[in-house]
Amino acid sequence: MRIVLFGPPGVGKSTQADLIAQNMHFKRFSMGDTLRDEVASKSELGTKIKRYVESGELVPDDIVFELVKKFVCENQKTDILFEGYPRTVRQAEALDALLSQLGLSMDVVLEIHLSDDEVFRRLTNRGYCPNCSSIYNYDTHPPKVDSICDNCGQKLVTRSDDSEEVIRRRLQLYAEQTKKLANHYNAPLVYQRIRAEGTKQEVFDKIAHIIHAYSNKR
């Protein structure tokens, strides 16, 4: 079974991806982690990626796809959860083609939804540790001591990209991309939208329910 999980920044995607991977035996493909691992491995590809990341450019689609392809081919017999990929219709088409070559399919596409106002409130309430990169949310995941990192004791800062204008622009871009992806995956049973309200356990229960319902229909 293959699942895509997407949602706006600040919605708790990676928390949910962790829960799905741990509780439901999915192998998680996280674009961010995969890029970081490849850079750390100092491979030829990793060196190329590092150049893009350091210059603040987007890593081109063909490089990203190499990583996806490698992961999918190595995990053909495992349930896979894609997080942070695909982001565009072009990427979704490339992934569809790869899966179909391997006799596989994309089974469930889960959009975690939250109103723009709520996303905005969550994002502006974030604290970031400049030392160990931990991220806190003053509403849903506050540090134990106010403004101090639980992990290393550093004083938390607001991420520089969390200014109001930048957030509004990111949300708008996300909404445009999501609309196109939703159209691309628009098939009964495949595309599922859930609201990210309640605790992380409540959100996870909704996701688990959808995944189980799909498994039972096969």
Point out which residues bind Zn ion (CB under 5 A): 129, 131-132, 134, 149, 151-152, 154
Residue whose tokens read 């088409």 = 93
- Cβ proximity to Zn ion: between 64 and 156 the closer is 156
Nearer of residues 131 and 147 to Zn ion, judged by Cβ = 131
User: Between 75 and 125, whose beta carbon lies closer to Zn ion?
Assistant: 125
Minimum CB separation of residue 159 from Zn ion in Å reads 13
* Shortest separation between residue 147's beta carbon and Zn ion, angstroms: 12
CB of 128 to Zn ion, least distance (A): 9
Closest approach of Zn ion to the CB of residue 155, in Å: 9
Nearer residue to Zn ion within complex by CB, 100 or 147: 147
